[in-house]
Amino acid sequence: MDDFIAARSQMALSLGFHIIFSCIGMIMPFFMAVSHFKWLKTGNIVYRNVTRAWSRGVAIFFATGAVSGTVLSFELGLLWPEFMKHAGPIFGMPFSLEGTAFFIEAIALGFYLYGWNKFNKWFHWFTGVIVGVSGLASGILVVAANAWMNSPAGFDYVNGQYLNIDPIAAMFNDAWFSQALHMILAALTATGFAVAGVHALMILKRKNVLFHTKAFRIAAVFACAGAILQPLSGDISAKDVAKRQPVKLAAMEAHFKTEEKAALILGGIPDEQNDTVHYALKIPGALSFLAHGNFKTPVTGLEAFPKDVRPPVAITHYAFQLMVGLGMLMLLIAVFYFFTLWRKKKWLEKRWLLKLFAAAIPVGFIAVEAGWTVTEVGRQPWIIYGIMRTRDAVTPMPGIVYSFYIFTAVYVSLSVVVVALLYRQVRMVGKLYDVS
Amino acid sequence: MLYVVMAYLWASILLYVLMGGADFGAGILEFLSTKKSKEQTRKAMYRAIGPIWEANHMWLIIAIVILFVGFPVIYSTVSIYLHIPLVIMLLGIVARGTAFSFRNYDAVQDKMQTVYSKTFMYSSIITPLFLGIIAGSAVSGRIDPLATHFADAYIFSWLGLFPVTVGIFTVTICGFLAAIFIIGETKTEAERQRFIQKAKHMSLAAIAAALLVLIAAQRDGVPLASWLFGNPISITCVVLAALSLIWMWVSLFRQSTKWLRIIAGAQISLLLVAITYEHYPVLINLKNSDGLSLLIHKGTDKTIHALAVALLAGSVFILPALFYLLYSFNKQEEA
């Protein structure tokens, strides 16, 4: 493995690990706050127990997300010093604000975790809400920084010089809104399905059924709301990418020939040598409609771009198809669940419904990873789209491959420990939390 | 506005040394405790740093963000040539942060607790050791951007007598700060005595380590003496720090612990002033070339301005909340 590939792999690994923890750390405080609110309003002790159990989860995920985030803030420089040397002053604004949001989150979490029975109950509840709000703000800001790499703004690039730098314009680049919206809904949906699924599983095992039912209901509603809104945000993103990064869209769709009434390609094996896709299902006109809102508008194909500025087509295409497919699956589950809530309340008790949710535990997070792959791999070969190539940004230090091995070992073992910890938390619910 | 940004950089480094340092030190003290008293040390520690421990480590993030937004050349130079110690420090941060909270939140108490504790204690030593090594290498002119051999560029940029002794000194300082901090949080007289004892030991260790640093500076040709005694401000700081050391020892023997935290905090601050005043505006000294100055290697005015505004605005939210957090948990303890 050469050092450049090692650096990219290490970055991908670190982000792929961090994204899961930050999604949960960003969304779970809201579940916790809703449950806490219900406890304060109804006085039903089960809600208090659920809140306390969830707050432990938040603490574990926050700690893991905080350290993996700290690692990332250094890795940007350790792996991509040339990029940071130029990009730091331009896209650093969201990072400096994120520092504040993250700090506030840490303070609020201190209040919340250690503040049971020590403060006014509504103040205590409010600090939990602040944990969620500042986590969400951090998420939006970090995604805004990533959006800048896709949609560079706030500077003029003249003869290799970065002039007229405007960090505010860089933060509010063209991609920040669509990307941040998509990420937050993804975090909501993925976390919701994962949490709901775990509680569904425990109900199926007939352990602390009342406790897990309350928890399941809160998480499932959030998950399903997210799953229904996400396709709309996906549509905004697709149209946005079509406009800003046509080569990325073309790679996502494995769309090689520029044509009117462009077909939407489902599945298939992209053949990058011969600019074609084998064995694909094609829906004529659908891509034109999805990308530009009109069945006839031409969609630029990969052939319009020289090979050295095209991203790897197969990975981008498969990841995109996987993300959309799983998104559709979650949409169906969500529509079905809301129908159940609306018309068929008795189905809520059915084992098959719970089994459906239990099976969906990893679905949202697989979609998150796939979507992240689309946006990152689809931006290649650029680290700053159209300005700086990833290869030119990498550290001159040789031997990065060893660093990659070390980080892989660390992240794999951390994942194992976190899963084991959560398993123990869930298994001990009867002893620790649900002691009625 | 550049001065606002520099002030924040300085303050976040100081606060990280003080708050993060006390936090690391808690792990070091646990390591140094006898088997019997480990449990007590741990309990006192959770009580003392539990609610604020996440916040303690935010200062590092603030400092690093200021560096990469405001002073990108400095950030990328350090990232390239001190890659190895930075990675080791990061692994320490990951191990320590996760072990600390996993130990606290594991629902089952079994032999995993030993694993968490061991990880926590060792990483509590390794992390500040490498933080000190990084600081020592950055100021002592070991980084050589012109080096052509791997070892010269990436190994001897930090591996040397002076950086390593600075690392050891940092570890002892952390232990010392933790002992002083926890004295104020102890519940029983026996506990209090134990931590006063620890504070005495750690301050002796710090003085010993400081002597090692002086010897190492001499051998490595680092002009440490001229940094400390090169100008009236630095001399004053060093003299005041030395005098306060006497005050602190008297207080420790008389067991009057009221001013201890302030004295310890002041000592560290004075040392940092003494060193940074002489170096200013250079943050990183390089081998065979000019150092990297904060006044020259800075981002554009617009960036610096935006960064300063963000920091000032952030403080409006952070500082009151942080003080209220510290205040209210102190009050709870008293009640």
**Three-state SS sequence of chain A:** CCHHHHHHHHHHHHHHHHHHHHHHHHHHHHHHHHHHHHHHHHCCHHHHHHHHHHHHHHHHHHHHHHHHHHHHHHHHHHHCHHHHHHHHHHHHHHHHHHHHHHHHHHHHHHHHHHCCCCCCHHHHHHHHHHHHHHHHHHHHHHHHHHHHHHCCCCCEEECCEEECCCHHHHHCCCCHHHHHHHHHHHHHHHHHHHHHHHHHHHHHCCCCHHHHHHHHHHHHHHHHHHHHHHHHHHHHHHHHHHHHCHHHHHHHCCCCCCECCCCEEECCEEECCCCEEECCEEECCHHHHHHHCCCCCCECCHHHCCHHHCCCHHHHHHHHHHHHHHHHHHHHHHHHHHHHHHHCHHHHHCHHHHHHHHHCCCHHHHHHHHHHHHHHHCCCCEEECCCEEHHHHCCCCCCHHHHHHHHHHHHHHHHHHHHHHHHHHHHCHHHHCCCC
pLDDT at B43: 79
> CB-CB: which of A84, A90, A432 is closest to B107?
A432
Which chain B residues have a beta carbon less than 8 Å from that of A104? 317-318, 321
For B116, which residue in chain A has the nearest alpha carbon?
A417
CB contact under 8 A, B80 and A406: no
Encode A18-34: b = buried (16+ Cβ within 10 Å), e = exposed: bbbbbbbbbbbbbbbbb
pLDDT at A387: 93
Query: Model confidence at B164, in pLDDT bands (50, 70, 90)?
Result: very high
And the tokens for B229?
């005694």
> CB-CB: which of A85, A97, A399 is closest to B76?
A85
Which chain B residues have a beta carbon less than 8 Å from that of A156? none
Q: Does A144 touch chain B (CB under 8 A)?
A: no
CB contact under 8 A, B51 and A410: no
Long-range contacts of A198-207 (CB under 8 A, 24+ apart): A198/A361, A198/A422, A198/A426, A200/A354, A200/A355, A200/A357, A200/A358, A201/A354, A201/A358, A201/A361, A202/A426, A202/A429, A203/A354, A204/A351, A204/A354, A204/A355, A204/A358, A207/A429, A207/A430
Q: Give the span between the Cα atoms of B4 and B22, in whole angstroms.
A: 26
> CB-CB: which of A89, A109, A118 is closest to B299?
A89
Q: Does A361 touch chain B (CB under 8 A)?
A: no
Q: Which residues fall within 8 angstroms of residue A90, CB to CB, at 6 or more apart?
A: A148, A152, A154, A155, A162, A165, A167, A170, B303
Virtual CA dihedral for B58, B61, B66, B68, nearest 10 degrees? Answer: -170
Write out residues 153-192 of B within 8 Å (CB-CB) of A.
153-154
> CB-CB: which of A70, A104, A425 is closest to B61?
A70
Highest mean pLDDT among A209-218, A267-276, B50-59, B181-190: A209-218
Give how far B59 is from chain A: nearest CA, Å.
Answer: 9
Q: Give the span between the Cα atoms of A184 and A177, in whole angstroms.
A: 11
Residues B290-316 have pLDDT tens digits of: 888 888 888 888 889 999 999 999 999
CB contact under 8 A, B318 and A82: no
Q: Which residues fall within 8 angstroms of residue A382, CB to CB, at 6 or more apart?
A: A149, A309, A388, A389, A390
Q: What is the mean pLDDT of each run of 10 residues along chain A (436 residues)?
A: 92 94 93 95 92 90 88 92 92 90 90 88 94 94 95 91 90 93 96 95 89 93 95 93 93 90 89 87 89 89 91 94 95 93 83 92 96 94 94 92 94 91 84 71
Per DSSP, helices labelled H in B184-282 are 189-220, 224-229, 232-254, 260-279
Q: Does A412 touch chain B (CB under 8 A)?
A: no
Q: Give the span between the Cα atoms of A224 and A231, in whole angstroms.
A: 12
CB contact under 8 A, A60 and B299: no
Q: Does A204 touch chain B (CB under 8 A)?
A: no
* ipTM of model: 0.89
Q: pLDDT at residue B23 above 90?
A: no
Residues A182-234 have pLDDT tens digits of: 999 999 999 999 999 999 999 998 888 899 999 999 999 999 999 999 999 99
Q: Mutate which of B4, B47, B68 to test chain A, going by most A C-beta atoms within 10 A?
A: B68
Strand pairing class (A161-163; A156-158):
antiparallel
Give how far A100 is from chain B: nearest CA, Å.
Answer: 5
Q: pLDDT at residue B335 above 70?
A: no
> Chains A, B: CB contacts under 8 A, how many?
205
Which chain A residues have a beta carbon less than 8 Å from that of B318? 100, 103-104, 107
**Residue A338 buriedness (CB in 10 A; 0-12 / 13-18 / 19+):** middle
CB contact under 8 A, A93 and B90: no
pLDDT at B329: 76
CB contact under 8 A, A71 and B90: yes
Do residues B93 and B127 make contact, with C-beta atoms less than 8 angstroms apart? yes
Q: pLDDT at residue B334 above 70?
A: no
Q: Give the span between the Cα atoms of A324 and A303, in whole angstroms.
A: 24
Q: Mutate which of B49, B52, B59, B61 to test chain A, going by most A C-beta atoms within 10 A?
A: B61
Q: Which residue has the higher pLDDT, B240 or B34?
A: B240
pLDDT at A436: 55
Give how far A20 is from chain B: nearest CA, Å.
Answer: 16
Do residues A149 and A64 make contact, with C-beta atoms less than 8 angstroms apart? no
